[in-house]
Amino acid sequence: VLQNLVHLFYPQLCAACRQPLATGSKVVCVHCRLQLPYLDHFSLGENIITKMFWGRAPVQTAFSLLYFKKDTIVQELLHALKYRNRKDVAEAFGQEIGQKWLSLQNQPDFDLVVPVPMHRSKYKTRGYNQAELIAAAIAEVMHKPLATDLLKKPTRSESQTKKGRLDRWNSAEQQFVHSGKPHAPGILLVDDVITTGATIEACIQTLQHFNSHCRVSVATLAYAYR
């Protein structure tokens, strides 16, 4: 009975190929795990992700775990996480990010973990923000506090009222708003996928608008290259 209950709460299928998982396997089957396209960063300070921000936004250190490509295992994993309630994907791979980060930098240069926020309406429909789940797993492994309410996406009416005094600089900042809560200067921004970096860049602008001394690092589960 207990085993059946466990099966009810923890789906026992591979999150990528949906075949039953062998006993002892978690989240992803052995076959899929062997095919995972890991990005091998040798430095957190200078890699493909940090270079993306050169000339755009100050990013101290950055890390992405996997390459994202259409029609691959990684797309399946992200899809499972976003649309099939497979929160265990965020937990397992978030922990992996935290462990790998610590192996490259045992004294992380941030003090607070902040997920890229999601619109409240979307959050209500989905029931969770996948970036927040990844951030929570990273924060736990790295023993850092998590702040889920520091940044938020403004509702449409909130954006409208701000529009009157927007200049060009503010149009990016407007994507996110700061809660106004004071915070430590070193922040790790977490998202599920990074593509052009525009979302992270907008978050950084919001953080720095509030505190110009803010140092930002970035972690994502996947990097979608073009």
Cβ proximity to Zn ion, 16 vs 150, nearer residue: 16
Least distance in angstroms from the C-beta of 72 to Zn ion? 12
Q: Which residues contact 15 (CB under 8 A, 6 or more apart)?
A: 27, 28, 76, 77, 80, 81, 84, 86, 88, 89
Using the contact rule CB under 5 A, the part of the chain among 7-15, 122-130, 133-141, 155-163 near Zn ion is 7-15
Using the contact rule CB under 5 A, the part of the chain among 29-37, 44-52, 96-104, 146-154 near Zn ion is 29-37
89 belongs to the binding site for Zn ion (CB under 5 A)? no
222: left (phi over 0), alpha (psi -120 to 50) or beta: beta
Cβ proximity to Zn ion, 15 vs 204, nearer residue: 15
Least distance in angstroms from the C-beta of 133 to Zn ion? 20
d(CA 51, CA 60): 10
d(CA 133, CA 138): 9
Distances (CA, A) of 94 to 36, 100, 113, 176: 15, 10, 12, 23
d(CA 118, CA 154): 9
Using the contact rule CB under 5 A, the part of the chain among 26-34, 37-45, 77-85, 119-127 near Zn ion is 26-34
Of 9, 11, 14, 69, the one binding Zn ion (CB under 5 A) is: 14
3-state SS assignment for residue 18: coil
Cβ proximity to Zn ion, 13 vs 141, nearer residue: 13
Cβ proximity to Zn ion, 32 vs 62, nearer residue: 32
| Greatest distance between any 2 Cα atoms in the chain | 62
Residues 98-127 that bind Zn ion (CB under 5 A): none
Residue 215 per-residue DSSP state: E
Using the contact rule CB under 5 A, the part of the chain among 25-33, 85-93, 177-185, 214-222 near Zn ion is 25-33
Tokens representing 183 are: 């915070």
CB atoms closer than 10 angstroms to residue 166 = 12
Of 6, 12, 17, 85, the one binding Zn ion (CB under 5 A) is: 17
Q: How many residues does the chain have?
A: 226
Of 32, 137, 139, 202, the one binding Zn ion (CB under 5 A) is: 32
Cβ proximity to Zn ion, 76 vs 191, nearer residue: 76
Cβ proximity to Zn ion, 6 vs 17, nearer residue: 17
29 belongs to the binding site for Zn ion (CB under 5 A)? yes
Residues at the interface with Zn ion (CB under 5 A): 14, 16-17, 29, 32
